[in-house]
Structure 1
């Protein structure tokens, strides 16, 4: 996964579709994508839970099924680790076969203290070892910070120092993504809508639960048509 992020030309971000089950993963892999990044939102809904309510056992099992279904690298969205200690988060992630993960800094609807989150990420990094790709999500744009860019820079620097390979400032606008990319010195992940346009400053694109939501809407339209 790390090699896919390196030496990317401007305007050529690594685009990672977000599968929510084994079937969607195969569709994206068959379309030619070289890597995937699961969506916890979509996987939870596919398993019958609301976003954020899926038990750890079921989410890790869903990730493992996705990994088994495809021959491309898979990174796993595992929210904030489901309350598990860092060593267990790492062990369970490695058991799925995923080559990386996304960890957010929100717990129960509020931002986690930056030092506490950095310590958590450092623990996960230490337990994972150097190979898996660790993407640290920053939720300052989601949780109403008075200066989300300054807060994102503070958190991003702390998370990189803790061992994060990339930083994901969730819902940051394009102008702030450019600043974060220039300042942090690691790949910056942007949330994008399906089909773009993709922010020019970043080297990694994911879609959150948008692809799963679009598929669900298409299924709902089909159900109404059949009825």
Structure 2
């Protein structure tokens, strides 16, 4: 896997995006979706662990490090934009696992990645505080040793795993920020006030928000006014694509062919794809 020649320049642009304003970070799930999304004019793209797994017919969380990075690299190859990878728990429980994941992401040419504090153990889904912090420290050290910019996003999953503890979430994110993480991320925060508290706690470090608060999605301008710097969508766009395929597939199997007239024309999807040869 060869990194593009402009990998460092893309990473520098990605760093700069986090330094002012608020930007959208669409999550592509394969090369084709990367081309479609890049054509809409975003300033950067990310991968999605769920979408990447679904392209291989697997459930979210079933990819190896090599498979996840190969997926992100395929996205990177289809655009001149910076690309950040969703690299889940760093593909191992130890700090060294997280460091190895960061180095592999950088070798592929990625501009950044996320590392989360999950364990892959349903009985105890979140690493203890000290273990989680040690993992982020190792990831940060690996990123700093690359010799080029790399946006390390540290992510705590409390609210996605039945632990709606805002105080612990803020404690973790604050510690991750102090350890040197470049961007902080806690998916599924309950409301805008919780988002504001997170932004204030880790300032001046940038905060990524997943779509918006669980209380109800908001215009991006409201998230920006709350201090959010980056808005990603995780597997939402992949779910939309697969959901549309399910809906139209059901209509086909049921013989309701007129419903398929709502499918976009061939040229709308084929046009942005790479021509043959």
Question: What TM-score do you get using the length of structure 1 for normalisation?
Answer: 0.91
1:213 equivalent in structure 2: 239
**Structure 1: where are the runs of 5+ without partners?**
none
Q: 2:83 aligns with which of 74, 77, 87?
A: 74
Distance 2:47 2:29 in 1: 6
Q: Is the 8 A contact 1:81 1:103 kept in 2?
A: yes
Q: Is the 8 A contact 2:102 2:113 kept in 1?
A: no
Q: Is the 8 A contact 1:168 1:188 kept in 2?
A: yes
* Residue 5 in structure 1 maps to residue 18 in structure 2: yes
Distance 2:38 2:208 in 1: 20
**Corresponding residue SS for 2:158:** coil
2:137 equivalent in structure 1: 122
Following superposition, the deviation at residue 219 of structure 1 comes to: 1.6
Q: 2:115 aligns with which of 85, 100, 103?
A: 103
2:179 equivalent in structure 1: 162
**Corresponding residue SS for 1:42:** helix
Q: Is the 8 A contact 1:103 1:135 kept in 2?
A: yes
Distance 2:141 2:231 in 1: 26
2:211 equivalent in structure 1: 192
**Corresponding residue SS for 1:107:** coil
Cα deviations by residue, 1:147-199 (Å, 9 ceiling, x for unpaired): x2111111011111121111111100211000111121111111116x85333
1:150 equivalent in structure 2: 167
Distance 2:178 2:111 in 1: 21
2:103 equivalent in structure 1: 91
Q: CA RMSD in A?
A: 1.7
Distance 1:86 1:224 in 2: 42
Distance 1:142 1:55 in 2: 21
Number of equivalent positions: 221
Distance 1:143 1:218 in 2: 27
Q: Which has the larger radius of gyration?
A: 2
Distance 2:143 2:247 in 1: 43
**Structure 2: where are the runs of 5+ without partners?**
1-13, 254-277
Q: Is the 8 A contact 2:20 2:229 kept in 1?
A: no
1:52 equivalent in structure 2: 61
Q: Is the 8 A contact 1:104 1:137 kept in 2?
A: yes
2:70 equivalent in structure 1: 61
